[in-house]
C-alpha cells in the first residue's frame, strides 16, 4: 500500500510548479491539470483503487471512472465536477 501511495502521489505531484489560485491551482505537468482540491479529495481513493494504472494518466482516469461508485463522497463530488469542467464524459 505504501508503494501505491508514492506512485499516485508521484503522478499527482509530478512537478512543484503551480499556478497561484488558492485551493484550486492546477498542478503543471499533468495532462489533465489536476487541481490541489482534486488531489486532496481523491489521492487516497486513487491509491486504494487505481494505483496499478500509474503512470498512465488515461488509464488512471479510466480506472477512476470504473470505480466511481466506490469512491468516497468527497472524491466523487470533486471528480465529477472536474470531469464536467474538462468536458470529459463520465
| 35 strand-pairing partners | 26
Q: Is the peptide bond before 55 cis (omega within 30 degrees of 0)?
A: yes
User: Which three-class secondary structure state does DSSP give residue 86?
Assistant: coil
pTM, to two decimals: 0.67
More confident residue, 27 or 82: 82
DSSP type of residue 53: G
Structure confidence by residue, pLDDT tens digits, 68-80: 999 999 999 999 9
Cβ proximity of 22 and 31 under 8 Å: no
Cell of 70: 466506490
Amino acid at each position: 500500500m505504501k508503494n501505491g501511495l508514492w506512485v499516485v502521489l508521484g503522478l499527482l505531484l509530478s512537478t512543484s510548479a503551480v499556478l497561484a489560485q488558492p485551493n484550486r491551482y492546477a498542478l503543471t505537468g499533468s495532462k489533465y491539470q489536476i487541481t490541489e482540491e482534486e488531489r486532496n479529495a481523491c489521492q487516497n481513493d486513487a491509491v486504494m483503487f487505481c494505483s496499478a494504472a500509474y503512470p498512465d494518466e488515461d488509464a488512471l482516469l479510466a480506472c477512476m471512472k470504473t470505480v466511481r461508485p466506490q469512491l468516497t463522497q468527497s472524491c466523487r463530488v470533486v471528480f465529477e465536477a472536474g470531469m464536467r469542467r474538462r468536458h470529459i464524459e463520465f
